[in-house]
Amino acid sequence: MNEDKATRYHRLQRTLTWIGLALQAAGIVVLLPGGGAVLLRDAVVGATGAAPTALTTVGLFTAVLIFAADLAVFPVVFYRSFVLERRYGLSTISLRVWLLDHLKAFGLGLTLGVVGAVVVYATLTLWPAAWWLVSTAVFSGALLGLAWIAPSVLLPMFYSFKPLEHPSLRLRLESLSSRAGVPVLGIYEWGLGEKSTRANAALVGTGRRRRILLSNTLLSDYTEDEIEVVIAHELGHHAHRDISVALMLQIALVIVTFGAAAVALEAFWRPLGLIAQNDAAGLPLLMLVAAIVSMTSRLPLNAMSRRNEHRADRFALSLTGRPEAFVSAMRRLGAQNLAEANPSATTVWLFHSHPTVEQRIRAARAFEG
C-alpha cells in the first residue's frame, strides 16, 4: 500500500481506536449477560461487609471497574500515545514522564469516576423516582465547574505556562482580541514543546477569564502574521459562542443519558439479577447506556464542529485580511502536526471534528478571490 507518513499514522491510530472500543465492548459482555457484575459486587460486599446498595460498596465497585478497564486497555493506550507518537516524530516525551502523566490522568479519572458514581447512587437511594433529574442537575453543574477551573487548575497539571515575553506580538494579539470583541485576561507561552513536536494555540476559559495560549513550538517557528490568523480563528469560536453552545450541548447529552439510563434500569434490573435499582452491580448497565449515547451523538456533533471550524476560519480571514498567512499557517501546521491532507469522505464523516487542511486552504483561496 503506497501511503504517505500522515496516512499511515492515522490509519494505525484508527485501528487502535477500534481495538480499544472492542475491548470495552467485551468488558460489557462479560459483566452484563452472564452476571459478571453481580459476582464482582458479591466480592466487594465480601471484602467490605456492606450491603450491595451501600455507597461504600458503590465506591469500591467503581474503583475496581475503573482500574480493570485501565489495565485492559493499557497496552493499546501505551502503543497509541507513546510508541506511535515517538515513532512518527510527534513526541519527545520520555517513558518516565509519559508514565507519570498517565498516572495523573488515571488518578483524576478515578477520583471523578468514583465521586460521580457515588452521587448517582445517592440520588437513586434518596429519590428513586426522580434520581435521573437530580443527577442531571449535579452533573451539569460539574461540567460547568470543570470548564471554569480547567485552564487554571487542570492544564497546569500536565504543562508549564508563563506570560508571553514577546512585546510586539502581545500588543498585536491584544489589539486583535479587542477588534474581535472578545476580551482576554492574559497571553501565555505554553510549554508544549517539552513533550511534543506539535505546534498549537488555544483560547481557553470563558468570559473575563479567557486566556490565549501559544505553544513554544508555534512561537519559535511561525511568523507573527501566521500566529495572528491562528488566534483570530480561536477568537472566532468565542465571538460566535461556539464554546458556550458546546457546553449546552454537553448538558443536553447529560439529560438524554440519564433519561435513557432511568428507562434501561427500570426495564432490566430484575433480569440482570440485581436486588434493587440502586444495586451497585447495575453500574455497567448505566455505563453501557452512556457509551451508546456518546457514540450515536458523535457523528452529528462532529458535523456541527466542522461547520463551526469553517465559520471560525472565515471570521479569521475577515478580521485579519491575511489569506496568504492563513494558507501558509495551515500548510505548516498540517505538515508539522502530521494531519491527513486528503482523507476519504467516509473517514472525515466518521472521525474528523475539523475540515481537512486542503478544504480549509481552498476556502481561504476562494475568500481571497
Model-level pTM? 0.91
Distance CA 148, CA 281 (A): 33
* Set of cell numbers at residue 26: 467485551
> CA angle, 125 as apex, 123 and 126 as ends, to 5°?
65
Residue type, 341: A
- DSSP secondary structure, 65-96, as one string: HHHHHHHHHHHHHHIIIIIHHHHTT-B---HH
Instruction: Report the pLDDT value the prediction gives residue 368, as an integer from 0 to 100.
Output: 67
AA identity, residue 342: N
CB 155, CB 127: distance < 8 Å: no
Give residue 49's pLDDT. 93
Q: Which of 92, 326, 339, 330 is nearest to 216 (CA)?
A: 92
What tens digit of pLDDT does each residue of 153-205 get?
A: 888 999 999 999 999 999 999 999 999 999 999 999 999 999 999 999 999 98
What was the pLDDT predicted at 28? 84
What is the reported pLDDT for 342?
83
Q: DSSP assignment, residue 290?
A: H
**C-alpha 62, offset from chain centre:** 21
What residue spans of the chain are helical by DSSP H? 5-31, 36-48, 55-78, 84-87, 95-126, 131-149, 167-180, 216-221, 224-239, 242-268, 283-320, 323-336, 345-351, 357-368
Could you tell me which residues are beta bridge partners of residue 163?
Answer: 188
Q: Is 341 helix (H, G, I), strand (E, B) or coil?
A: coil
Which amino acid is residue 80, in one-letter code? R
Nearest one of 125, 77, 131 to 103, comparing CA atoms:
77
CA nearest to 9, candidates 110, 81, 66, 94: 81
For 203, phi then psi, to 5°, come to -120, 105
Q: What is the mean pLDDT of each run of 10 residues along the chain (369 residues)?
A: 79 93 87 82 93 96 94 95 96 95 96 96 96 96 89 89 95 96 95 95 88 96 97 97 94 96 95 93 94 94 96 97 96 94 87 93 85
| pLDDT given at position 207 | 79
**pLDDT for the residue 1:** 40
Contact 138, 119 (CB under 8 A): yes
